[in-house]
DNA sequence: TTAGGTGCAAACTTTTTGCCTCCGA
DNA sequence: TCGGAGGCAAAAAGTTTGCACCTAA
């Protein structure tokens, strides 16, 4: 992969330092996809047991600022981090929590529309849409009664 | 509003009890829209100072189970609760955190499409889409370099 | 009357901060 | 060398749990 050297460069361009921890955290996010800070930390600690969860949090913030990673809240609880390269859209059922992945091309029309009308650049590469899966669609509508 | 009596009824239908706290929490969610549990608690405590935040958490869970309220994670930190009636879509800039509200009709096409192709009932009444606002669109694309 | 609901305190989980040391450039 | 970065411990933020008392039905 060409990106191997780009973390160092990206950091240096902004006067920041390259460290083993930063590379390890980025690698872990790339490898795991949709991992919580805690899972990322555990993964990093297999190679470098001394790395502290504090560093993972700080590094994730940093990488997010560099737009190398992104986080979303798929459900309750901890956020889930992924790289931009991991492109897809999530359909999350708020009844059963089931998550379906669909290709981002499904949102092409919407992306166009939002850009034209609101100047908003939708990032369809990593998105969670909430609603109800096929199984829970009707029950919910009924219970709702609105 | 016709809904004034429906909380009591909804609860009784399921063998649960109506309490002042439950009404107060629901009213607070309706009034505030996009409030965190803590803000909701403060609001409730103006009228009923003895109400504890524990009760607010428990009641929000309950009301969510009854599908009377919904929560989303708009950014980091605490979740934000709203009623179903409060219909709109959020465009969240992941650069500056700015939140723009747009009408749910903008998603009609997408909703149709997801239902046809995946059997997924998108809930366009309360949704957060992440991307970049007009101001931060270009800078991000540049820095991103992908 | 009595089980469901509440308040209070404490525990727990997740994230942030302070501070001192270490190491990348 | 020297200031940014990391490790550790403690604090803060957010949420849940246990339990005794209260109250809606």
Domain range list for chain B: 1-84, 87-146
Pick from B76, B106, B101: nearest CA to B91: B101
The token pair at A69 is 């990673």
The whole-number Å distance from B102's CA to C17's C1' is: 37
Positions in chain B short of pLDDT 70: 1-5, 86, 95, 97, 125-126, 137-146
Residue B71, helix vs strand vs coil: strand
pTM: 0.79
Find out if CATH 3.40.50.300 is the number for domain B1-84: no
- The residue of chain A with its CA nearest to that of B115 is A134
Pick from A127, A49, A48: nearest CA to A86: A127
B20 vs chain A: nearest CA distance in angstroms? 22
Rounded to whole angstroms, the Cα distance separating A139 from B69 reads 16
| CATH of region B87-146 | 3.30.1490.190
The token pair at B26 is 């629901």
Rounded to whole angstroms, the Cα distance separating A92 from B18 reads 31
Taking contacts as CB-CB distances below 8 angstroms, the residues of chain B near A126 are: 130
Q: What's the confidence (pLDDT) of residue A140? A: 40
Q: In this complex, which of B72, B121, B129 lies closest to A131 when CB atoms are compared?
A: B121
What stretch of H or E contains B51? none
Confidence of residue A144 (pLDDT cuts 50, 70, 90): very low
Taking contacts as CB-CB distances below 8 angstroms, the residues of chain A near B67 are: 140, 143-144
């Amino acid at each position: 992969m060409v990106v191997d050297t780009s973390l160092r460069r990206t950091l240096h361009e902004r006067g920041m330092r390259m460290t083993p921890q930063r590379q390890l955290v980025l690698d872990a996010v790339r490898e795991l996809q949709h991992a919580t800070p805690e899972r990322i930390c555990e993964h990093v600690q297999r190679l470098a047991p001394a790395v502290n969860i504090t560093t993972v949090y700080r590094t994730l913030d940093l990488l997010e600022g560099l737009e190398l990673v992104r986080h979303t809240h798929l459900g309750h609880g901890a956020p889930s981090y992924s790289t931009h390269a991991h492109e897809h859209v999530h359909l999350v059922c708020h009844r059963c929590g089931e998550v379906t992945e669909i290709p981002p091309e499904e949102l092409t029309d919407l992306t166009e529309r939002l850009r034209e009308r609101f100047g908003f650049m939708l990032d369809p590469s990593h998105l969670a849409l909430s609603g109800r899966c096929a199984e829970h669609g009707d029950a919910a509508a009924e219970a709702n009664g609105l």
